Amino acid sequence: MRILGIESTCDETACAVVEDGKRILSNVIASQAAVHEVYGGVVPELACRRHIDVIIPVIEEALAAANVTLQDIDAIAVAYGPGLVGALLIGLNVAKGIALALDKPLIPVNHVEAHLYAAIMSAETPLSFPSLGVIVSGGHTALLAVHDVDTFTLLGQTIDDAIGEAFDKVAKMLHLPYPGGPHIEKLALHGDPLAFPFKGGVVKGRPLHFSFSGLKTSVLYTLRGQNCSRAPLEISPQEKRDIAASFQRAAFDDLIKKSHLSLEMIDGHALFFGGGVANNRALRQRFKEAFPSTKLHWPAENLSLDNAAMIAGLAFHNHKRKGISDLPENTLDLEAATRIPFSLA
């Protein structure tokens, strides 16, 4: 089954053609990072305009790179959420249009689940279940029990900022460019991770939940003093490196501690990672050290940031499992979902 996937949940416009959930024929990503960089974060209105400008050329490029035409496609998959509503609507409406014109099924895909599927589709089979899914993206931080390639239940999630968002906000405080994650990683290489006693948040009664807003505020107070009375960059270059390293260490300490608890709880066999922060080399090294006898599955390089191959890939399994029975009778009735709650374990 050959599926055309479309992704436009945030600031990447992407299209991919994937066969049978695994074989990637093309994977085109148009990043808008340069558009939003000057503002230090994604500006939704600008994201929408850029999606409109590039979505058709991106689809055409993905078809050409896969050496197929729309007639060779068996179904259209689209990330229908979670994400920015305007951005979602553009991908969704283009996908509906193509599905209607071709009279082919439209398969809605949850963007966060697809991030996890990116590591699953990158892994050698056979896979062992249950396993633990660790989502560390710009919009989400979640620990999931992975029961099968397409079946997940939530164990814990953030109650405020996502981990990637915390990286981006701390980077902004340190006057680093957007997106800040890779810049913090680079700076942290030459900093002392124990220079500042930063800690991840504890959520009362929910040991597997995350809270990063306190950590972010600790960084702010360190930079500006308790009453934000200090001038913003009255810190030495070495202090800046130490703050980056200590923040990163604290965020990863917290993630590792809660991943350990979760893996034990589900008696899991392996770990699957999804989302942009999974690109971080220090994170990978820390997990390797913390889970020496557990198989760790990382998304392939071109599948860790937002992309449509993971959308088309997971769509294959969603379709196989559910057919199109879950869909509204009329394809046109499918709606964008800015938030999609996970089912709790």
Q: Binding residues for ligand KG4, per CB under 6 A? A: 10, 137-139, 164-165, 167-168, 179-182, 185, 275-277, 279-280, 305-306
Asked if 113 touches Zn ion (CB under 5 A), the answer is no
Cβ–Cβ < 8 Å for 245, 286: no
**Least distance to Zn ion, CB of residue 164, Å:** 9
DSSP 8-state class, residue 59: H
**Least distance to Zn ion, CB of residue 109, Å:** 12
Question: CB under 5 to 8 A by kind: which of ligand KG4, Zn ion, none does 305 bind?
Answer: ligand KG4
Task: Count residues binding Zn ion (CB under 5 A).
Answer: 2
Q: What are phi and psi of 57, to 5 degrees?
A: -55, -35
> Cα–Cα–Cα angle for 307, 310, 315, nearest 5°?
130
- Looking at the Cβ atoms of 270 and 278, the one nearer to Zn ion is 278
- Looking at the Cβ atoms of 122 and 331, the one nearer to ligand KG4 is 122
DSSP 8-state class, residue 257: H
Q: How many CA atoms lie within 13 A of 215 on its CB side?
A: 34
Residue 263, burial from CB neighbour count under 10 angstroms (0-12, 13-18, 19+): buried
Asked if 137 touches Zn ion (CB under 5 A), the answer is yes
Q: Which of 72, 282, 93, 67 is nearest to 191 (CA)?
A: 282
- Looking at the Cβ atoms of 124 and 301, the one nearer to ligand KG4 is 301
Phi-psi region of 251 (alpha: psi -120 to 50; beta: other; left: phi over 0): alpha
Which one among 306, 309, 314, 336 touches Zn ion, defined by CB under 5 A? 306
- Looking at the Cβ atoms of 150 and 185, the one nearer to ligand KG4 is 185
Q: Find the part of the chain contacting Zn ion (CB under 5 A) among 31-39, 240-248, 299-307, 323-331.
A: 299-307
**Where does this chain bind Zn ion (CB under 5 A)?**
137, 306
